[in-house]
A = this chain, B = another copy of it.
Amino acid sequence: MVYLTRVEHFNAAHKLQNPNWTDEKNVEVFGKCANPNWHGHNYELHVTVKGIPNPETGFVFNAKELGTLIKEIIVEQVDHRNLNVDVAFMKGKLTSAENLIVGIWNELKPHVEKRGAQLHKMKLNETPNIYVVYYG
């Protein structure tokens, strides 16, 4: 079993705001991340598929196709967008890195599987010093 990872990037705005809370409670819990006028990040997304290399190609999955797939299914929806406002799969959810990686996983998984590959792991950097990992 070999694990292949492809990294893609997107830049997005968001804020952390629980609509059931007062502004004070939001600031108390989320601090500067609750700024009502938004802030943003350069997100870095690592998508890992696993499998036995195909003897005809040497590939677990074609890394270029994996990049194209991530760009079409995910980057197209989130890049230069507002995660709270513009992104269908995040509607009604808090846009924490944790919820975002679960949303991306659910969005991408059927497309990866349709191509005969197994999605193994995702890693999402919100900043160089904060990242989340998800295995489904």
Binding site for B on A (CB under 8 A): 1-9, 11-14, 16, 18, 20, 29-33, 35, 37-42, 48, 53, 56-60, 62-64, 67, 79-82, 85-86, 93-99, 101-102, 127-135
A40 touches B39 (CB 8 A): yes
CA distance A35 to B39 in the complex (A): 14
Residue from A30, A38, A85, A96 having most chain B Cβ neighbours under 10 A: A38
Task: Give the shortest distance, in Å, between A135 (CB) and chain B (any CB).
Answer: 7
11 pairs of residues in contact across A and B, judged by CB atoms under 8 Å: A1-B134, A1-B135, A3-B134, A4-B97, A14-B40, A39-B40, A41-B42, A53-B102, A58-B99, A59-B98, A67-B129
